[in-house]
Amino acid sequence: MNTLLLTLSSLRHRPGRTLLTALGTALGIATIVALLAVAGGAKQSAGEFFHLGASDLGLFQKDAADPTTSVLPTSLIPALRRTRGIAAATALVLLVEDVKKAPGAIVFGADPNSFLTQRLVFTSGHMYRTSQEIVVGDQLAKQLHIAPGETLAVAHRKLRVVGIYHIGVAYQDAGAFMPLATAQAISGHIGETTTIPVKLDSGTAQASAKRIITRRFPGILVISDAEEATRAGVSGQLISNAALVIAVLALLIGGIGVMNTMLMSVIERRSEFALLSAVGWSGPQIAGRVFTEGIVTTVIGAAIGLLLGVLGAGLLVHALGAQAFVSPQVTAWDLGRALLVGVLIGVLGGLYPAWRAAHVSPAHVLAQH
């Protein structure tokens, strides 16, 4: 307790150095928390995205660079519909970054009578009936200030908006639906689709259906849950990997920064440590004091970093314009991991300075004065 009180007193007498050391740790911890939160949000969104609200399974091209670049032949659909346990299967083309006024909007090409489009609830207008019509989600309509009767440019085509819908799924309400053939023409993949959402019979288990589809249709990736969606999604995996890399870098760089700061403190306070040694403090006691200072400083920095990370995750998603698709998810486990990194930074950065402080020679230092 005495060591801790002395440590806190010492930190209060050096507020500038303490603050700089704490802020260095805080920035590293904030980055880790923000990335983990975005990765968690991406994982949850991925599960929603690949289920597309109504489907039980999402079928994609295996080993595609990214699920949005998947290409499957629509000729698979009749065979899938005849497969035991499958109630419905439909083609769905995904057009990404083709709405210039809203680059984050996803345009879905789908049959107007599919089980996916039948869930659209129209607040005004109606479903498209011709190849030159499109329906827009209420969130996208609000963003673009668009209403039925106006036109919306998708890639190089201008389509007439005939309806505004709401479905309750953020990325779909922030997007639009158009006829399948029109989306295929825009993407340049006639007779092909990005994904095939599948609806199962009520008595069919997902695991059983996955085995049947995988065995019958080689080269198809079947996604049934958020974990699989995250592994398949390059972006989500990259965010997870980036969080790990940054955690390691924060540990190394933060540890070096704390060590450098603590070493400077030891050099400046040699007289203090020599005096403590002269009045009876042992080497381990002096080392323990310096070591405790390093840990307390980084724990303070980690606490600040946790707060900054939670706030920064939302700002990061907003800055990327992805708030319609990713809602940061901060868990106790993420906060615990980040705090652990902060403590490890203090341990790593405090070891050598503590050793140096313990080996200060009282006679040598006092002779210089």
Residue range 59-110, pLDDT digits in tens: 888 877 666 778 999 999 999 999 989 999 999 999 988 998 888 788 999 9
Query: Collapsing DSSP states into helix, strand and coil, what is residue 121?
Result: strand
Candidates 346, 365, 274, 361; CA nearest to 11 is: 346
Q: Which range among 19-23, 128-132, 243-247, 302-306 shows the weakest confidence by mean pLDDT?
A: 243-247
Residue-wise pLDDT tens digits, 350-368:
777 777 777 766 655 555 5
Q: Which range among 47-51, 135-139, 220-224 shows the weakest confidence by mean pLDDT?
A: 47-51
- What's the N-to-C CA distance of the chain in angstroms? 32
Task: Give the residues across from 153 on adjacent strands.
Answer: 158
Distance between CA atoms of residues 190 and 180, nearest Å: 10
Asked if residue 302 has pLDDT above 70, the reply is yes
Q: Which of 2-16, 100-114, 302-316 is the most confident on average? A: 100-114
What's the pLDDT band for 3 if we cut at 50, 70, 90? low
pTM > 0.85: no
The pLDDT of residue 13 is 61
The pLDDT of residue 49 is 55
Residue-wise pLDDT tens digits, 164-213:
999 888 788 989 999 999 999 999 999 999 999 999 998 888 889 889 99
Selected residue with higher pLDDT from 28 and 6: 28
What's the pLDDT band for 234 if we cut at 50, 70, 90? very low
State percent of the chain over pLDDT 70: 71
The pLDDT of residue 45 is 57
Distance between CA atoms of residues 42 and 56, nearest Å: 19
Pair type for strands 57-61 and 220-223: antiparallel
Q: Which range among 28-37, 118-127, 152-161 shows the weakest confidence by mean pLDDT?
A: 28-37
Please report the sign of the dihedral spanned by the C-alpha atoms of residue 91, residue 97, residue 101, residue 106. Answer: positive
The pLDDT of residue 5 is 61
DSSP state, 120?
P
Asked if residue 226 has pLDDT above 60, the reply is no
Q: Fill in the amino acid letter for 229.
A: A
The pLDDT of residue 26 is 77
H/E run at residue 94 = strand 92-96
Candidates 336, 298, 297; CA nearest to 33 is: 336
Sole residue written with tokens 């700089």: 20
Q: Which range among 95-104, 207-216, 220-229, 281-290 shows the weakest confidence by mean pLDDT?
A: 220-229
Selected residue with higher pLDDT from 87 and 340: 87
